[in-house]
Amino acid sequence: MNLFSRYTPLQISIHLYAWSAIIWILFEIFTDSFSINPIQELEQRTGRHAITLLVLSLICTPLHTIFKWNEPLKRRRTLGLYAFMYAVIHVLIFVNFDYGLAWSLIVQTVFEKPYIVVGVITFLLLIPLAITSFDIWKIRLGKNWKRLHKTIYFIASLAVLHYAWSKKGDIFTLSGDIQRPLIYGLILALFLIIRIPAVKKFFASFSIERLFRFQKKNPTAD
Ligand code: HEM
């Protein structure tokens, strides 16, 4: 049995993309081309990869709503768990490498910098979602499972706020390195708009089958 008959191209791409950040970091470390500020670089890269995977996990539902493509729905959990894995690495780098497990200093820093408080809240809120992402919890929690997992939109918004705030830019004058977090914020807003029932209904009625039926009835239409 070869790899391609066992896994779909989307599955393979997801695993490759998820591991790419670690592989790239290791490659740069072993070739001596890593940053001159390695701890900050590790913190930033793992944070960015975590938030990107989180946003990718949220794109699965709109992909299904708009294109009626079912497979992304099956890949949400993998993307979400990879996002959590990078969030854990991000936090470990912060507490271990950045602050050498000096807990009193860590607590002091957290409360001195509001963007870190937001990061901590984001991380704590991600934990129950990661734990309950498995099928057994879907059965145990019933309707509450969906309710719990819908909070991911709020959690992702907190992650974007943490990202934007850490950049020390100004969102109104677009100064500083604020563009990237702003793009993540806009993508997230778009996903939320697609979830509005009226918008969802519009996409649901605009199905591919309907388009084909229309084409058959009106062969000259293009
Ligand atoms: C206990 C929780 C967390 C702590 C203590 C923490 C800490 C930090 C720190 C200190 C930075 C600034 C790095 C620098 O620029 O020097 C940072 C940036 C960042 N964090 Fe977190 N973080 C936490 C949770 C999270 C979570 C859960 C996510 C995403 C899901 C996240 C995503 C990011 C991103 C995207 C950046 C900006 C990276 C960049 O500058 O390009 N963080 N975090």
* Confidence at residue 210, expressed as pLDDT on a 0 to 100 scale: 60
* Confidence at residue 211, expressed as pLDDT on a 0 to 100 scale: 57
* Sign, CA torsion 132/7/85/90: negative
Sorted by where each begins, the domain ranges of the chain are 3-217
* Confidence at residue 44, expressed as pLDDT on a 0 to 100 scale: 97
Determine if ligand 1 sits within 6 Å of the CB of residue 165.
no
* Confidence at residue 91, expressed as pLDDT on a 0 to 100 scale: 98
Strand boundaries in 60-218, DSSP class E: none
- State residue 170 phi and psi, 5-degree precision: -120, 120
Q: Output the tens digit of pLDDT for each of the chain's 222 residues.
A: 677 778 999 999 999 999 999 999 999 999 999 999 999 999 999 999 999 999 999 999 999 988 889 999 999 999 999 999 999 999 999 999 999 999 999 999 999 999 999 999 999 999 999 999 999 999 999 999 999 999 999 999 999 999 999 987 666 676 778 889 999 999 999 999 998 989 888 887 766 556 556 555 665 544
**Are 195 and 155 a contacting pair, CB within 8 Å?**
no
Determine if ligand 1 sits within 6 Å of the CB of residue 35.
no
Note the pTM of the prediction, 2 decimals.
Answer: 0.92
Q: How many C-alpha atoms does 222 have within 13 Å on its Cβ side?
A: 1
Give per-residue pLDDT as tens, 143-154.
999 999 999 999
**Are 26 and 73 a contacting pair, CB within 8 Å?**
no
Which of 39, 44, 126 for a ligand 1 pocket mutation test, highest count of atoms within 8 Å of Cβ? 44
Q: Which among 87, 25, 98 is positioned nearest to 57, based on CA atoms? A: 87
Determine if ligand 1 sits within 6 Å of the CB of residue 22.
no
Ligand 1 centroid – CA 50 distance (Å) = 9
Q: Which among 51, 30, 53, 49 is positioned nearest to 41, based on CA atoms? A: 49
- State residue 175 phi and psi, 5-degree precision: -90, 165
Q: Which among 156, 209, 188, 208 is positioned nearest to 62, based on CA atoms? A: 188
- Tokens 């509005």 belong to residue: 196
Determine if ligand 1 sits within 6 Å of the CB of residue 47.
yes
